[in-house]
Amino acid sequence: MKPGPNRLAVTGIGNAMLDIITQDSREVFRDLGLTKAAMELIGEHQLQAFFDAMGPTIQMSGGSVANSIAGVAALGGTCGYIGKVADDDFGKRFTHDLRSMGVEVDLAIATAEEGATGRCHVFISDDAQRTMATYLGASNQLRVEDIRDDLIARSEITYIEGYLFDLPPAKQAVRKVVNFAHEHDSMVALSLSDMFCVERHRRDFLELVTSDVDVLLANETEIKALFQVASLGKAFELIEELGVLAVVTRGPHGADVATVSGVVSVPAKEVETVVDQNGAGDMFAAGFLYGLALGADPVEAASLGSLCAGEVITHLGARPEGDLELLAIEAGLL
Amino acid sequence: MKPGPNRLAVTGIGNAMLDIITQDSREVFRDLGLTKAAMELIGEHQLQAFFDAMGPTIQMSGGSVANSIAGVAALGGTCGYIGKVADDDFGKRFTHDLRSMGVEVDLAIATAEEGATGRCHVFISDDAQRTMATYLGASNQLRVEDIRDDLIARSEITYIEGYLFDLPPAKQAVRKVVNFAHEHDSMVALSLSDMFCVERHRRDFLELVTSDVDVLLANETEIKALFQVASLGKAFELIEELGVLAVVTRGPHGADVATVSGVVSVPAKEVETVVDQNGAGDMFAAGFLYGLALGADPVEAASLGSLCAGEVITHLGARPEGDLELLAIEAGLL
């Protein structure tokens, strides 16, 4: 069942940013004090030094939830995006890229004091791991007065990025988003974003998951950090008690979906060479959420997620290059 | 034989520009009046309309000869680049990208009247063809006073981009480059760049090829346009009379090298899926010229060219993503 006219399958709300990507065979990210495969936050005064240390770069739109929304659009889904950019070249490119895919955007424009458009410096190691240094800038200045209900009211699912919690005003904005979603019967989905983000905001996340979240998306380390448990099995027991639909991505091991009849594992799509893992989780979320919005059961939806994740890891960058809709139709998933 | 200390294998001189790349399944380039698989020039006033018409974009450094120089650097070669950019974000990124690969750059900075840093809008069709709209801007304002002899004097090969002839001042600059190269025993290589470029400057190219060029690089349509002949065989007869070393790339059919003992065909590297032909000729030139600079015979050099071209067509963008040096060593070509 496709959403009706003027309805949207998914609206995302997250940190709007550009990715600045380099292949980093020599792992120079170590000299910058970064931890392999993790994301760290940097300030505006560090931007030049980080850029200077990078090899040749490729630049494209990014932002975890924005990537997922681009994925939904690439699958042929109707979708929306709420975020904040500055009135600069990066902000214009971010807006252009989503709009040109048919995404309905509701982007607040930051004041000069709120900073420049966010950007993420991505270092790809030879083993396809990504190490990231993120300047949040304008992206994280989303305030309660920036949130309008139009897109949320029309959406089957409202998808919230955990990273938004990194600045206090955004927390209130998230509260408003959740209230709008409840008012308009839009399912609330939450991405835990990253293990360190979970550690920074564990209490807030737990509260949100307990009282407001219908669908929880996480990877293995994030879900363990949220519940402070050592095993995935224990995490799933707690998920069952909470009664939320949860999916845990496990890289090459696929994804585990917590359903009413227990945990079901969905295999990862086999690919020849993994070039860049950047975007794998985001694209999984795209397929999973779009599947749910169309009324698929969670396991079918996870299969669509695996297909999307499998495409994005075969090339540099976190957004799809191939025709995802065609791939999904050929695989019998759309 | 590697070039000695402080020596450079190849210095390139060409139009310095950024590529703005989009996948264009719907072939919207047709609505912009562009001809499939050709390059057309656009003015500053058209930039907004062209960007608006594009889908989501990936941005990276480009410029035909600059791509080749990036390829030489990726092969582990010492190299230089001479060109012109504006004092803007695009110019800074272009400079950063070459420098971060170890390329010695000698980039003149344009005045405000000379325009912004050049950029090329690249539309990739589903059949992997590329259609381009180029704003030359600062890149084509290279003047005779911008040319210094340092990099040229230290280079085994000086590689000149045909596109440079599109503005009269650059022609004089090319004359100065050629004179410096002759003075310092640097071989002069010329890329014919594109069929329409050949048609615009046939007389100038013929004069240069007849009197100053040691190595001529072209594809099939360009070489036929230069000599105004219908067959490649006829073109090779004229090349033989001129006594230049010439290589003609023929896409999936590989490349033909005109040697003293006749024409030798070198096969293209087989690849599974061609994603984007952008940069195939440029990367072929990288391998071919670097091979020559190291003292390889032209057929060996062409094999290195084929290897480099085979890597770049498997992903979006005209610059290498893989480790070309490692690939070449594994193939026994370095």
On whether residue A90 sits in a domain, the answer given is: yes
Q: What is the mean pLDDT of residues B212-230?
A: 96
**Bridge pairing between strands B57-62 and B17-23:** antiparallel
**Bridge pairing between strands B130-135 and B39-41:** parallel
Question: Quick check: B57 and A93 CB within 8 A?
Answer: yes
Within 8 A by CB and 6+ apart from B283, the residues are B67, B68, B71, B305, B308, B309, B311, B312, B318, B320
pLDDT of residue B5: 76
Question: Quick check: A60 and B57 CB within 8 A?
Answer: yes
Q: Is residue A197 within 8 Å of A171, Cβ to Cβ?
A: no
Q: Is residue B173 within 8 Å of B166, Cβ to Cβ?
A: no
Q: Which of A25, A316, A323 sits opposite B315 (nearest CB)?
A: A316
**Bridge pairing between strands B187-191 and B215-219:** parallel
Query: Which residues on chain B are in Cβ contact (under 8 Å) with A23?
Result: 321
Q: Does position B107 have pLDDT exceeding 70, yes or no?
A: yes
Q: Does position A17 have pLDDT exceeding 70, yes or no?
A: yes
What ipTM, to 2 d.p.? 0.84
Distance between CA atoms of residues A145 and B12, nearest Å? 53
Q: What is the mean pLDDT of residues B89-118?
A: 96
Candidates A120, A115, A166; CA nearest to A137 is A115
Q: Indicate the length of chain B as a whole number.
A: 334
A67/chain B closest Cα distance in angstroms: 12
Distance between CA atoms of residues B328 and B324, nearest Å? 6
On whether residue B3 sits in a domain, the answer given is: no
Q: Quick one: CA torsion of B85, B90, B95, B101, rounded to 10 degrees?
A: -140
Distance between CA atoms of residues A32 and B39, nearest Å? 41
pLDDT of residue A166: 84
Q: Give B185's DSSP letter.
A: T
Buried b (16+ CB within 10 A) or exposed e, B210-219: eebbbbbbbb
Q: Is residue A14 within 8 Å of A64, Cβ to Cβ?
A: yes
Q: What is the mean pLDDT of residues A50-58?
A: 95
Query: Which residues on chain A are in Cβ contact (under 8 Å) with B51?
Result: 96
The torsion angles phi and psi of B180, rounded to 5 degrees, stand at -60, -45
Distance between CA atoms of residues B107 and B226, nearest Å? 30
pLDDT of residue B311: 92
Q: Does position A51 have pLDDT exceeding 90, yes or no?
A: yes
**Bridge pairing between strands A57-62 and A17-23:** antiparallel
Place of tokens 């018409």: B53
Q: Which tokens belong to B327?
A: 């690939």
pLDDT of residue A317: 85
Distance between CA atoms of residues A194 and A315, nearest Å? 22
Q: Does position A189 have pLDDT exceeding 60, yes or no?
A: yes
| Mean residue pLDDT across chain B | 93
Q: Give B50's DSSP letter.
A: H
Within 8 A by CB and 6+ apart from B221, the residues are B195
Q: Does position B17 have pLDDT exceeding 90, yes or no?
A: yes
**Bridge pairing between strands B255-259 and B262-266:** antiparallel
Candidates A42, A44, A22, A19; CA nearest to A32 is A42
Residue B70's CATH number: 3.40.1190.20
Number of structural domains in chain A: 1
Distance between CA atoms of residues B143 and B171, nearest Å? 8
Among chain A residues, CA nearest to B100: A55
Q: Does position A79 have pLDDT exceeding 50, yes or no?
A: yes
Summarize pLDDT for A142-171 with one digit per residue, the tens: 999 999 999 999 999 999 999 999 877 778
Across the strands, what pairs with A189?
Answer: A159, A215
Place of tokens 């890149």: B139
Q: Which tokens belong to B58?
A: 């990936």
Taking CB atoms and an 8 Å cut-off, how many pairs form between chains A and B? 69
Residues of A with CB under 8 A from a CB of B: 22-23, 25, 51-52, 54-61, 70, 89, 93, 96-98, 100-101, 126, 275, 315-317, 319, 321, 323
Place A1 in a pLDDT band, splitting at 50, 70 and 90: very low
On whether residue B261 sits in a domain, the answer given is: yes
Beta strands in chain A, from DSSP E residues, in sequence order:
8-13, 17-23, 39-41, 57-62, 79-85, 104-109, 118-124, 130-135, 155-161, 187-191, 215-219, 245-249, 255-259, 262-266
Distance between CA atoms of residues A213 and A196, nearest Å? 20
- What are the residue ranges of helices labelled H in chain B? 47-53, 64-74, 89-99, 150-153, 168-183, 195-200, 202-211, 220-227, 232-242, 280-293, 298-312, 324-330
Q: What is the mean pLDDT of residues A301-316?
A: 93
Candidates B141, B164, B163, B134; CA nearest to B47 is B134
* pTM, 2 dp: 0.88
Summarize pLDDT for A91-142 with one digit per residue, the tens: 999 999 999 999 999 999 999 999 999 999 999 998 888 899 999 999 989 9
Question: Quick check: A60 and B55 CB within 8 A?
Answer: no
Within 8 A by CB and 6+ apart from B126, the residues are A323, B25
Among chain B residues, CA nearest to A52: B96
Residues of B with CB under 8 A from a CB of A: 22-23, 25, 51-52, 54-61, 70, 89, 93, 96-98, 100-101, 126, 275, 315-317, 319, 321, 323
Q: Is residue B250 within 8 Å of B284, Cβ to Cβ?
A: no
Positive or negative CA dihedral for B236, B239, B243, B244? negative
pLDDT of residue B328: 96
pLDDT of residue A2: 58
Positive or negative CA dihedral for B179, B182, B185, B186? positive
Among chain B residues, CA nearest to A23: B321
Q: What is the mean pLDDT of residues A19-28?
A: 92
Distance between CA atoms of residues B317 and A60, nearest Å? 12
Q: Does position B317 have pLDDT exceeding 90, yes or no?
A: no
Candidates A320, A223, A328; CA nearest to A280 is A320
Query: Which residues on chain B are in Cβ contact (under 8 Å) with A93?
Result: 57, 59
Place B2 in a pLDDT band, splitting at 50, 70 and 90: low
Range of the domain at B224: 8-15+64-115+139-330
- What are the residue ranges of helices labelled H in B45-88? 47-53, 64-74
Candidates B173, B236, B225; CA nearest to B203 is B225
Q: What is the mean pLDDT of residues A201-207?
A: 95
**Bridge pairing between strands B79-85 and B8-13:** parallel
pLDDT of residue B1: 47
On whether residue B1 sits in a domain, the answer given is: no
Summarize pLDDT for B55-75 with one digit per residue, the tens: 999 999 999 999 999 999 999
Query: Which residues on chain A are in Cβ contact (under 8 Å) with B58?
Result: 58-60, 317
A325/chain B closest Cα distance in angstroms: 12
Q: Which of A54, A316, A323 sits opposite B321 (nearest CB)?
A: A316
Candidates A105, A106, A156; CA nearest to A289 is A156
Place of tokens 């090459």: A252
Summarize pLDDT for B198-220 with one digit per residue, the tens: 999 999 999 999 999 999 999 99
Q: Is residue B6 within 8 Å of B154, Cβ to Cβ?
A: yes
Q: Which tokens belong to A137?
A: 């800038």
B120/chain A closest Cα distance in angstroms: 15
